[in-house]
Structure 1
């Protein structure tokens, strides 16, 4: 697999993490309560931070030679 294709899949997974974290934040704020609310919100924010780090890495590593 070429480096360009690997970067594409990595950035796609980061976008998936962002989408998943948005759904989990919505669930934790409006649908859940108690300890489950805290757990889902914590996981959601960890996924959001992780996806931001991944996107930062993908953008600032520059273009890949083909």
Structure 2
């Protein structure tokens, strides 16, 4: 597989992480209560951080 194709798949994974972050933030703010709200919120921001790092690395390589 060429390096360009590998970058494409890595960037698609980053976009998938962003989609999961959006979904988890929505769930934690509007649907869940208690400890589940905190856990999904932390997981959402973790996905957001990972996707941001992935897309930053792909953009500047």
TM norm. shorter chain > 0.5: yes
Structure that is richer in helix per residue: 2
**Shift, 1:50, TM fit:** 0.5
In structure 2, distance between residues paired with 1:23 and 1:43:
11
Partner of 1:18: 18
User: Structure 1 regions of 5+ residues with no counterpart?
Assistant: 62-66
Moved over 6 A (4+): none
CA RMSD of aligned residues (A): 0.4
Partner of 1:8: 8
**Shift, 1:31, TM fit:** 0.2
Task: Figure out how many residues of one structure are paired with residues of the other and give that number.
Answer: 61
Question: SS at 1:28's partner residue?
Answer: helix
C-alpha offsets along residues 8-39 of structure 1, whole Å, 9 cap, x if unaligned?
00000000000010000000000000000000
**Shift, 1:53, TM fit:** 0.4
- Larger CA Rg, structure 1 vs 2: 1
TM-score (structure 1 length as normaliser): 0.91
